[in-house]
Amino acid sequence: MEETYEALSEISKAFAHPTRLRILELLSVDEACVCHLTHILDKRQAYVSQQLGVLRDAGLVDVRRDGQMIYYRLADARAAGVLSLLKDLALGSNPKLRYDPVPRVPVAGCPCPRCNEADTCCCAS
């Protein structure tokens, strides 16, 4: 009866980090490769991989490889729900905060196909 709350806290801990929250928010819009996340977050690649590892270990994200790129996506759409409710809670305590929607845009300098091929780019249609 106590260990089940250990499991719950393991998942909660994965949320409890600013960079990981941003990653989850980006992934709730669309799957993304590490290079894409790295460019958007403006962090070192190794650091982003570490945070992705934490999310992976917690079971919050799934991974798929496509050639050289590795794409991450939410393992469960309810993770986006948690994120959304957390934002509501935060806004409740401090209405000055802003959580604007994050569009899926091509990132200059990102080598992934989605940022470079017009037909697969999100801004193509």
Partner DNA sequence: TGTGTATATTCTTAATTATGAATATATCAG
Partner DNA sequence: CTGATATATTCATAATTAAGAATATACACA
Site residues for a copy of itself per CB under 8 A: 2, 4-9, 11-13, 15-19, 21-22, 59-60, 75-76, 78-79, 81-82, 85-90, 92-94, 97-99
C-beta neighbour count of 85 within 10 angstroms: 10
Q: Euclidean distance between the first and final Cα of the chain, in Å? A: 51
| Cβ contacts of 90 within 8 Å, gap of 6 or more | 97, 99
Rounded to a whole number of angstroms, the minimum distance from the CB of residue 5 to DNA is 11
Partner whose binding site includes residue 7, from DNA, a copy of itself, none (CB under 5 to 8 Å by kind): a copy of itself
In 3D, which of 57, 49, 99 has the Cα closest to residue 75?
A: 57
Q: Closer to DNA at the Cβ: 68 or 125?
A: 68
**Tokens coding 68:** 């050289």
Q: Closer to DNA at the Cβ: 57 or 88?
A: 57
Q: Closer to DNA at the Cβ: 3 or 101?
A: 3
Contact positions toward DNA, by CB under 7 A?
A: 13, 16-17, 19, 33-35, 38, 43-47, 49-50, 52-54, 63, 65, 67-70, 111-112
Q: Closer to a copy of itself at the Cβ: 94 or 125?
A: 94
Partner whose binding site includes residue 64, from DNA, a copy of itself, none (CB under 5 to 8 Å by kind): none
Tell me whether residue 17 is exposed, middle or buried, using C-beta atoms within 10 angstroms of its C-beta: 0 to 12, 13 to 18, 19 or more.
Answer: middle
**Tokens coding 86:** 């957390």
